[in-house]
């Protein structure tokens, strides 16, 4: 992915309630996401599912 795409995706993730930190390593095609499980609600899970394109289990 291009740098702009990675930045947009990171911004979208950080806008979701409960997401505290995002580290993307495009060369390895990996993203590490720090989640506050206490703050993550059903709406946040739906947003993550929509962003990832598949259901997220946290």
CA angle 38, 41, 42 (to 5 degrees): 155
- Tell me the pLDDT tens digit for each residue of 14-52: 999 999 999 999 899 898 999 999 999 999 999 999 998
The span from the CA of 1 to the CA of 29, in Å, is: 9
The helix, strand and coil proportions of the chain, stated in percent and rounded to the nearest 5, come to 45, 20, 35
**Residue 31 pairs with which residues in a beta bridge?**
24
Q: According to the model, what pLDDT value does residue 1 have?
A: 59
pTM of the predicted protein model = 0.81
Tokens at residue 41, please?
């609600």
Q: According to the model, what pLDDT value does residue 55 have?
A: 86
The span from the CA of 36 to the CA of 38, in Å, is: 5
């Amino acid at each position: 992915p291009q740098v702009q795409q990675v930045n947009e995706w990171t911004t979208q993730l950080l806008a979701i309630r409960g997401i505290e930190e995002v580290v993307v390593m495009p060369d390895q095609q990996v993203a590490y996401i720090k989640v506050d499980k206490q703050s993550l609600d059903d709406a946040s899970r739906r947003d993550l599912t929509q962003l990832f394109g598949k259901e997220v289990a946290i």
